[in-house]
Copies of this chain bind each other. A is one copy, B any other.
């Protein structure tokens, strides 16, 4: 199936499917698989390891000749030189997140990049559009990772934003297959972003224990943490996060939640699921096998096509 909409045109991709910028995970091994499979691979900066990121971008040039992008996670990389850094890498597409959309938008756009800002609320969406972004990643609260403390779910947020803005929208939060992609498009998106599904992919560099935990999880097996403070986050339920769920209440006075990540790499790549926090969305409950990215996209696109066709046959 050939997609032709504003997202495929702006991003220069075959499929309007974007890989989320998970810290440490969204690197060349995974991102090149995404780009080579027709989607938009993204390199992360939220690890803060800009030297490593530079090498990952260099590696991308050897692993794929397809477009890819970079995410600027503003809360994690406060260095004002981050925009210049990204511009210098020569990528055409950047998503900015977790910060003020006015901060880097002009500089990035003046350098010819296409800028999408990640938003968790209508208010944030309107602010980003005012800042001049080319598009939005609209992220519902069922998704994994760092979240707004007042999460709005995709079924509500996406049409709410789509009714009020004219820029193209990539939907995130709850997206893992062709049915959810079709639903997102019905709600006003022209593209989708997958996070947890990409963490579980064959080319994802995380330890198999994390992939197996996603496969074992039911949809009820995530926790929403720290909603009385910032950042809130959604992660897999473990002994550690079950404890944090109870501790991180309104009167919590311990160390900030970020301290609880400890040495995240012991979980991410060492496989100790209690060593840190395994950020994951509720779609963990719908993922039951590790598959190559190309297979995930092929199945997604086929199911999207079948879903739209079945709806059309039945209801037009």
Contact = CB atoms under 8 A, between A and B. Distances in A.
Interface of A: 1, 3, 5, 121-123, 140-142, 148, 150, 152-157, 159-160, 162-163, 173-175, 177, 179-180, 182-188, 218-220, 228, 245-246, 249-251, 281-283, 285-286, 304-305, 307-309, 311-312, 314-316
A237 to B, nearest CB: 9
Contacts of A159: 177, 179-180, 286
B311 A315 contact: no
Contact of A122 (B179, B219, B304): B219
Contacts of A184: 183
Nearest 8 interchain pairs by C-beta: A155-B174, A312-B312, A183-B183, A150-B220, A142-B153, A182-B186, A246-B250, A156-B282
A281 B163 CA distance: 19
Contact of A308 (B155, B175, B220, B316): B316
A218 B174 CA distance: 21
Contacts of A157: 219
Nearest to A173: B155
